Structure 1
Amino acid sequence: MTDNHSHKPKPDDRRDNVEKLQSMVQDTIQNIEKAHETARFIDGEEKQAIEAKNKRREEAIEAMRNEIKDEYDALD
């Protein structure tokens, strides 16, 4: 059985990338805030794990903000 429809990749549509990335940054910030609240009530290794995860989240936010700038510049 042959497929009469050719499978073409979708064109690269970057118009909404900035908006999506900004939403991801906001979600990540909210996750950091929730984790800070949780960390107030625990200690030891679990608290250290939360702090380490938040550090990675902060690094991810920085990377996403750089990507937002790149995407915004690409729209020109």
Structure 2
Amino acid sequence: MNHQNSKPDDRSDNVEKLQDMVQNTIENIEESQETMSFASAEERQRIEDKNRRRQDSIDAMRSEIKDEASDRENGYK
């Protein structure tokens, strides 16, 4: 394999991609909360645990969005 022909790192749309990921994750949380009313206690606990992990991911993505936006403003140095 020739690694010299790899694509350059294109970060130009990372902020938008991350924002889409945040929105999708929020929608997943909302949808799962709707299904909780039909879930057993065990299923509800699994959903709550998963939603906590989703919220952690959202927090991490938002932090990355700030970093990417700052890097974009500074010309990706």
TM-score, with length taken from structure 1: 0.88
- Where 1:40 maps in the other structure, the secondary structure is helix
TM-score (norm 2): 0.87
Task: Tell me which of 44, 59, 72 is aligned to 1:62.
Answer: 59
Rg larger for: 1
Q: Residue 13 and residue 44 in structure 1: after superposition, are their counterparts in 2 closer, same or farther (change >3 A)?
A: same
Structure 1 regions of 5+ residues with no counterpart? none
Instruction: State the one-letter code of the partner of 2:17.
Output: K
**When you count helix as a share of all residues, which structure comes out higher?**
2
Identity %: 57
Whole-angstrom distance in 1 between the partners of 2:30 and 2:37: 11
* Residue identity opposite 2:61 in structure 1: M
Instruction: List structure 1 runs of 4+ shifted beyond 2 angstroms.
Output: none
Runs of at least 5 residues in structure 2 that lack an aligned partner in the other structure? none
Q: 1:39 to 1:15 in 2, by over 3 A?
A: same
Aligned residues: 73
